Amino acid sequence: MNITQEKTGKLNAVLTVKISPDDYQEKVNKAIKDQAKKIKLPGFRPGMVPPAHVKKMYGKSILVDEINTLLSESVNNYIQQNEIEILGQPLPKEDDTAFNWNFNDEFVFNYELGLAPEVDVEFSSADKLTQYIIKVDEETLASRIKNIRRSYGKMTNPEVVAEGDVIFGEFVQLNADGSVFVGGIHVTSSLRLDLIKDEEIKKSLIDLSKEAVVAAFDLVKAVDDETQLVKILKLDEKNPIIPESKFQLTVKNINRLEESDLDQAFFDKLFGEGVVTTEEAFKAKITEELEAMMAQDADRKLANDLYKYGSEKAKMDLPDEFLKRWLKISNKEITDEELEKGYDDFAKNLKWTLVENKIVKDQKLEIKYEDVFEGAKARIDAQFRMYSPQPLSEEQLGQYTAQFLQDKEQANRIFDEVKSHKVFEYLKTVITLDKEDITYSKFQELEK
């Protein structure tokens, strides 16, 4: 076998692979003999089909399979051994002539390569970004405490509607003159007051009692959210038709989630027995948790800002036309319009990945399995905490993490996240970070 490389441009090359019968004949003969032992054909005992008969029937397809396997292995080995940095995957040249797949023939295959550009991007103290220090304000603390208390609260059924309640009622569609629309929508459903965006309409529902009737309730104006209206009116989700008419609303029941008392039983449920014993200690604990969450939010923004800044700084060329062809082949469902629309973001992300890889290599940043395991464990822990403040045990977390990392795609994603984090932590020590205090509400405005 002979493999040669020819540069066809600054970032493009063609790999030519010449395969002679000596390279594949032995493998093909073995494959034919193996097939002869397994195949079942009328007139032959199992395992006694002559190899010549198998060759006559299936020889060409076996030859194609063996050469394709040989090609894949040889091209990949050549690229690795010669340390050729490529982008995407090698693509067979479209203008190659069709082969006469007969035995004892020599074959020539040509592959297009997209070469990685030289990365010449350096960071120093001259590069400046803002690092926000988010402060826990009273409003944010109160909101978090309220949400936690509601999570551990109990459901009650008061006699009169108040702010934040859920009305369980009967919705009957009306005609323009206020009469019942025969054959129209007639459902019993729940309406959360916090979904109502029209303050005047919301105010009109406050203090309603059970069995109260609202003669002409403008539900569509009140909620103004198609997704929620579909749920309330129990419409066809695939093809919802939102009515413009008003409804008669009859209050059948009122549901209210009462907040949990700030007592020892509540503290023990949250943090374990005896860990927190006073309301002041409870607030301090929640403040500490909020600060940790906000520090993560601030780091996430800094990482995004660094990505934007670094991507713009990484002014390097890419083999764009090759990459577009590769993307189209790899994602057969993508349209030309979608490809053109999304390519700039893809190229921007690819450039930053090349910058990250260079930093990892130059700074000898080591990414160990333990780092990947801890990264996956942190993600799983965070997901469980979204549904319950009580954490999983270390043993449970370890079991879930090991199972999670068995998925190769998920494991690769975590590896990339760990790599990005290590690069981020390194760059934080190199560039200049101008620290700025900010309240959480103000920080959220920056995120919009």
Q: Are residues 295 and 364 in the same domain?
A: yes
Residue type, 192: R
Task: Check whether 97 has a pLDDT greater than 70.
Answer: no
Q: Categorize the per-residue pLDDT at 33 as very low, low, confident or very high, splitting at 50, 70 and 90.
A: confident
Beta strands in 127-228 (DSSP E): 128-135, 154-156, 166-173, 186-192, 213-217
Percent of the chain with pLDDT over 70: 96
Task: Using DSSP, state whether 445 is helix, strand or coil.
Answer: helix
Residue 374, in any domain of the structure: yes
pLDDT (tens digit per residue) in 339-361: 999 999 999 999 999 999 999 99
Q: Are residues 291 and 439 in the same domain?
A: yes
Residue 30 burial (CB count, 10 A): 12
Q: Categorize the per-residue pLDDT at 388 as very low, low, confident or very high, splitting at 50, 70 and 90.
A: low
pLDDT (tens digit per residue) in 236-278: 888 888 998 999 999 999 999 888 999 999 999 888 889 999 9
- Token pair 């940043």 is at which residue? 365
Q: Are residues 107 and 133 in the same domain?
A: no
Q: Are residues 201 and 305 in the same domain?
A: no
Number of domains in the chain: 3
Q: Which long-range contacts (CB under 8 A, 24 or more apart) does 239-244 make?
A: 243/173, 243/184, 243/185, 244/220
β-strand partners of 167: 191, 254
Is the separation of the CB atoms in 16 and 4 below 8 Å?
yes
The rounded mean pLDDT for the chain is: 90
Task: Check whether 232 has a pLDDT greater than 90.
Answer: yes
Q: Are residues 135 and 247 in the same domain?
A: no
Task: Check whether 299 has a pLDDT greater than 80.
Answer: yes
- DSSP, residue by residue, 225-294: -HHHHHHHHT--SSS-----S-EEEEEEEEEEEEPPPSSHHHHHHHH-TTT--SHHHHHHHHHHHHHHHH
We report the CATH number of the domain holding residue 94 as: 3.30.70.1050
Residue 192, in any domain of the structure: yes
| Cα separation, 194 vs 213, whole angstroms | 20
Residue 264, in any domain of the structure: no
Residue 310, in any domain of the structure: yes
In this prediction, residue 99 carries a pLDDT of 60
Q: Are residues 253 and 385 in the same domain?
A: no
Q: Are residues 283 and 427 in the same domain?
A: yes
Residue type, 51: P
In this prediction, residue 141 carries a pLDDT of 92
Task: Using DSSP, state whether 16 is helix, strand or coil.
Answer: strand
| Of residues 294, 270, 297, the one with CA closest to residue 283 | 270
Q: Are residues 187 and 69 in the same domain?
A: no
The H or E element that residue 15 is part of is strand 12-19
Output the CA–CA distances (angstroms, integers) from residue 405 to 133, 314, 377, 399, 417, in the order listed.
34, 32, 10, 10, 14
| Cα separation, 418 vs 427, whole angstroms | 14
In this prediction, residue 50 carries a pLDDT of 82
- DSSP label of 150: H
- DSSP, residue by residue, 385-427: HHH-SSPPPHHHHHHHHHHHTTSHHHHHHHHHHHHHHHHHHHH
52 phi and psi angles, rounded to 5 deg: -65, -35
Q: Are residues 159 and 135 in the same domain?
A: no
Q: Are residues 202 and 79 in the same domain?
A: no
List the structure tokens of 140.
């944010």
In this prediction, residue 174 carries a pLDDT of 95
CA angle, 294 as apex, 289 and 299 as ends, to 5°?
A: 130
Is the separation of the CB atoms in 85 and 358 below 8 Å?
no
Q: Are residues 23 and 86 in the same domain?
A: yes
List the structure tokens of 61.
């397809």
| Cα separation, 74 vs 82, whole angstroms | 12
Residue 191, in any domain of the structure: yes
- DSSP, residue by residue, 200-226: HHHHHHTT-BTT-EEEEE-HHHHH--H
| Cα separation, 334 vs 328, whole angstroms | 7
Domain that holds residue 333: 128-139+277-447
| Cα separation, 136 vs 439, whole angstroms | 7
Burial class (CB in 10 A: 0-12, 13-18, 19+), 248: buried
Residue 199: which region, alpha, beta or left (left: phi > 0; alpha: psi -120 to 50)?
Answer: alpha
Q: Are residues 380 and 250 in the same domain?
A: no
